[in-house]
Amino acid sequence: MVGGGQLARMTHEAGIPLGIGFRLLSDTPQDSAAKVVNEVVVGDYRDLDTLRAFARGCDVITFDHEHVPTGHLLTLQEEGLTVRPGPHALVYAQDKGRMRARLTELGVPCPRHRLVADPADVERFATREAGGFPVVLKTVRGGYDGKGVWVVGSAAEAAEPFKAGVPVLAEEKVDFARELAANVVRSPHGQAVAYPVVESVQVAGVCDTVIAPAPGLAPELALAAQELALRVAKELDVVGHLAVELFETRDGRVLVNELAMRPHNSGHWTQDGAVTSQFANHLRAVLDLPLGDPRPRAPWTVMANVLGGDFPDMYPAYLHCMARDPQLKIHMYAKDVKPGRKVGHVTTYGEDLAEVRERARHAADYLRGVIDE
Amino acid sequence: MVGGGQLARMTHEAGIPLGIGFRLLSDTPQDSAAKVVNEVVVGDYRDLDTLRAFARGCDVITFDHEHVPTGHLLTLQEEGLTVRPGPHALVYAQDKGRMRARLTELGVPCPRHRLVADPADVERFATREAGGFPVVLKTVRGGYDGKGVWVVGSAAEAAEPFKAGVPVLAEEKVDFARELAANVVRSPHGQAVAYPVVESVQVAGVCDTVIAPAPGLAPELALAAQELALRVAKELDVVGHLAVELFETRDGRVLVNELAMRPHNSGHWTQDGAVTSQFANHLRAVLDLPLGDPRPRAPWTVMANVLGGDFPDMYPAYLHCMARDPQLKIHMYAKDVKPGRKVGHVTTYGEDLAEVRERARHAADYLRGVIDE
C-alpha cells in the first residue's frame, strides 16, 4: 500500500487475520502506518524509481491516498505490475474535473459545474449557470478535508483558487438537507457489495460524525444511492472500496459530491459495526478474493472523529473514556496531536440511536479536550 | 511481548486501534507475529542478556507463552522492569506441580494428584489414591497441546514421562462430561472482567472447537466457574488474561485442569464474538488501562481451529470458504502448513447454534483438506 496514513494502518490491521503479507511505502518511519507494519519502505511516492523498487515483488499495489501521479501508475502497469484500482479508474478520484465530466456523461446526477478560467469566468458561471453566488471552487487535484475548496460569494473573492496554477472547477452550492455516503466494494471480476448508506455530518469541511444507517432515509432513496454507487464502480471499473459522497437535496434527490477509491472516513464505522469492515473488503477486492458480508451487526453504529485539541497529551482522556464506557471502541492513529488534525476515531453501537450517538459524541469531545466532564 | 507465535500476532492486531507501541522478541524473523510487527528483536528468550536488551525501554513485558525461565523474570523485575503477569503469579502457569499445590491450599477443586518419583510410585498413586488406572502423568514444565501429557494404564506404561528428568505429576483421570474454560482478565489495581464460560471440544489433546457460551450449562455452575476463575486470578495476583481450563464432571461439579496466563485458544471466539476481545483486554490489563466489556455480541459464537493437513497450499480452500460463507471470519497465522499444526482458526456467530457450529466445522475441515465439498 502506498501511503503511511491511518487508512494504511487500519488496512494492515484488517490484513493480519487474512494472513496477508503487507508492504508499505511511507514518507517517514514515523507515519501512522509505518509504526505498526513489518515491511516498510521509506520514500517519496512522487518518484517513479522509488515506486518501482517498492512495487517489485508485490502481487498488487493499492493506495492510502489519491496523490500518486497517474502517469507513474500507467508506467508501472505497462511494466507488468498490478495496480488496483487501476489508473484508468483512479484518475476520476484524482481529478475532479474529469470526474464531473465522466459522471455527467453517464447521466449520474451532479451539482451544476464547469471548469473556470479566472474570476470573471466564475462570475459568468455563477450568474448564468448556477443560479447566482455563492458558488464552490475546487482545484481539480490535490484537495482533501476541505483543503483546495473555497465557497465564494463574489468574483472578488475568487482570486485565491487560481493562484496554484491548477485547473479550477466551479460548482453550484447545493442547498442540501444533509450529506450521505454510499460505500461499495468491487472486485476485478465484478463481484460487488454495498454497505448501508450512512449520514455524514461535516463540521468546517471535515467529517465529524457518521451514522449508520442514515436515520430516516427513505428506503427507495437508500436503494437508489446504493445502485448509483454500484453503477459508478462498474462504469469506471473501480477495484476496491469506492466511497460516493452525496448531497441529499431538500426535494429528495441525491447528487454526487466526491468520489474516493480507497477506504474512507465514512466507512470507519464498519470496523465495529459491520460483519466485514471496509478495510478487509478493500483488501479482499484488490487481491481478487471473494468479498465479505457488508451487513451491519447492530441497529445503529455511530463513528465520531477525534480531532487534536489544545492538549498534546491525550492519555488521561483516553483512560477516562475507557473507564466511563467499557463498550466504547477507540481507534487511535498514533499521530502527534495538532489542533484540528484527525488523530483517531471512536465507534459505538446499540439499539437506541440517541444514546449511541451521545456516547460517541461524548468520547470524541472528551478526547479532544472540549469537555472535561 | 515475548514470543512470536499467533497469540502475539493477534495481540499486536488488537493493539493497533489502542495506539499501543508493540515490541516483539521472536525466535526467528519468520515467526507468525514477526511477519506483522514493526519492532522485532530476534533472539532467544532463554538468554537473560537477550531478554534484558529487549525489555529496555518497554513500559511492560508480557508473554505469548509460559516458557521464559522464572528466574530470569525475577531478575528483570529486580532490575526495575515491569513484568505482567509477574513471575510470582506466572510460576503457577509454568509449573503444574506448584499450581496443584497452591490451588489445593486455596480449596479450589482439582483432580486428585501427587508428584510421583518413578513407575512404582505411579502404581501406588493409582491404586491407593486415584481409584485405579488409567491415570494421567504430566511433566510439571514445558508441556502444551497434549505434549508432556501421558495417559497410562499400568506401571509398565509409565516409564516414558520420567525420561526427561523433569518432576512428574500424577493425576486421576477424571470421568468428565465435557471440558469448559472460564476466562477472566485482571488489571494491576484489581479490576477484573469475566467472559462467558465456554465449552472446549478437544480432539487428541488439541483444542478443536470452542462454543460460547457453553450450551446447556446450568447458570449456577457457570457463575461458580466464573467466580472460581476470578478468585484464582485474585489469589495468585494474576495480571492480564487468565484461562482456567475446567472439567465438568458427570455429577455437576467443575475441577481445574490447567491454567494459562496469557490470551488462550479458548478465548479466540472473543475476536468476533465479544464486545472486547481477550487480546485487547490482555493489553488493557497489562498496561493498567480500564478493561473493556467482555459480553458476547451474538447469542452463539463458535471457533474452530484450522489444523494443517496434507496439502501445504491452502489458498484454493481459503478462496472456497470465503466464497461459500461471506459471514465467515477467517484468522490465518501465516505459518507453514504441517500436518496437525495450528495454522489458523475460523469463527462464526448467529442465533442458531447448530447452523453456526456447522459453518465453522465445515470451514475448518475444508481448510484442512479433510472434506472437499
**pLDDT tens-digit readout, B180-222:** 999 999 999 999 999 999 999 999 888 999 999 999 999 999 9
Higher pLDDT, B144 or A41: A41
- In the block, residue with C-alpha cell 458558488: A135
What distance in Å separates the CA atoms of residue A328 and residue B321, rounded to the nearest whole number? 32
Residue B172 labeled ligand binder: yes
How many Cβ pairs closer than 8 A exist between chain A and B? 97
Q: For residue B291, which residues of chain A lie inside 8 Å, CB to CB?
A: 326
Q: Which of 127-146 (A) contact B at CB < 8 A?
A: none
Q: Where in chain A is the domain with CATH 3.30.1490.20?
A: 112-172
B21 secondary structure, DSSP code: -
Confidence at A147, pLDDT banded by 50, 70, 90? confident
Q: How far A327 CA sits from the closest chain B CA (Å)?
A: 5
Arithmetic mean of pLDDT, B360-364:
97
Does pLDDT of B162 surpass 90?
yes
Contact criterion met (CB < 8 Å) for A333 and B289: no
Higher pLDDT, A143 or B373: B373
Q: How far B331 CA sits from the closest chain A CA (Å)?
A: 4
pLDDT at B216: 97
Does pLDDT of A109 surpass 80?
yes
DSSP A232-287: HHHHTT--EEEEEEEEEETTS-EEEEEEESS--GGGTTHHHHBSS-HHHHHHHHHT
Average pLDDT over all residues of chain B:
96
Q: Where in chain B is the domain with CATH 3.40.50.20?
A: 6-83
**C-beta separation of B10 from B32 below 8 A:** no
What distance in Å separates the CA atoms of residue A33 and residue B122, rounded to the nearest whole number? 56
Architecture of the B112-172 domain? 2-Layer Sandwich (3.30)
**Residue A332 near chain B (CB below 8 Å):** yes
pLDDT at A326: 98
pLDDT at B373: 81
pLDDT at B224: 97
Contact criterion met (CB < 8 Å) for A13 and B18: no
Query: In sequence order, what are the beta bridge partners of B255?
Result: B247
Contact criterion met (CB < 8 Å) for A297 and B292: no
Q: For residue A22, which residues of chain B lie inside 8 Å, CB to CB?
A: 36
pLDDT at B82: 98
**Residue A250 near chain B (CB below 8 Å):** no
**C-beta separation of A2 from A45 below 8 A:** yes
* Residue B96: partners with Cβ closer than 8 Å, 6 or more residues away: B138, B139, B140, B141, B143, B169, B258
**C-beta separation of A256 from A207 below 8 A:** no
Q: Which of A9, A36, A314, A367 to mutate to test the interface with B (most CBs of B within 10 A)?
A: A36
Q: Could you tell me the CATH superfamily of domain A176-368?
A: ATP-grasp fold, B domain (3.30.470.20)
Q: For Cα atoms B33, B35, B39, give the angle at the middle one, nearest 5 degrees.
A: 80
**Residue A342 near chain B (CB below 8 Å):** no
Q: Where in chain A is the domain with CATH 3.30.470.20?
A: 176-368
pLDDT at B88: 98
Burial of A17 (0-12, 13-18, 19+ CB in 10 A): buried
**C-beta separation of A15 from A32 below 8 A:** no
**pLDDT tens-digit readout, B265-285:** 999 999 999 999 999 999 999
**pLDDT tens-digit readout, B113-137:** 999 999 999 999 999 999 999 999 9
Does pLDDT of A205 surpass 90?
no
Arithmetic mean of pLDDT, B75-101:
97
**A6-83: CATH topology:** Rossmann fold (3.40.50)
Confidence at B14, pLDDT banded by 50, 70, 90? very high
**pLDDT tens-digit readout, A210-268:** 999 999 999 999 999 999 999 999 999 999 999 999 999 999 999 999 999 999 999 99
pLDDT at A312: 85
Does pLDDT of A60 surpass 80?
yes
Confidence at A311, pLDDT banded by 50, 70, 90? confident
Q: Which residues of A are annotated as a binding site for ATP?
A: 96, 138, 171-174, 179, 257-258
Name the residue facing A17 among B40, B319, B332 (closest C-beta).
Answer: B332
SS3 content of chain A, % helix, strand, coil (to 5): 35, 25, 40
Name the residue facing B17 among A13, A35, A284 (closest C-beta).
Answer: A13
Q: Among B279, B101, B241, B86, which Cα is nearest to A17's?
A: B279
Arithmetic mean of pLDDT, A158-177:
93
Does pLDDT of B146 surpass 80?
no
Arithmetic mean of pLDDT, A7-14:
98
Q: For residue A18, which residues of chain B lie inside 8 Å, CB to CB?
A: 330, 332
Arithmetic mean of pLDDT, A267-296:
98
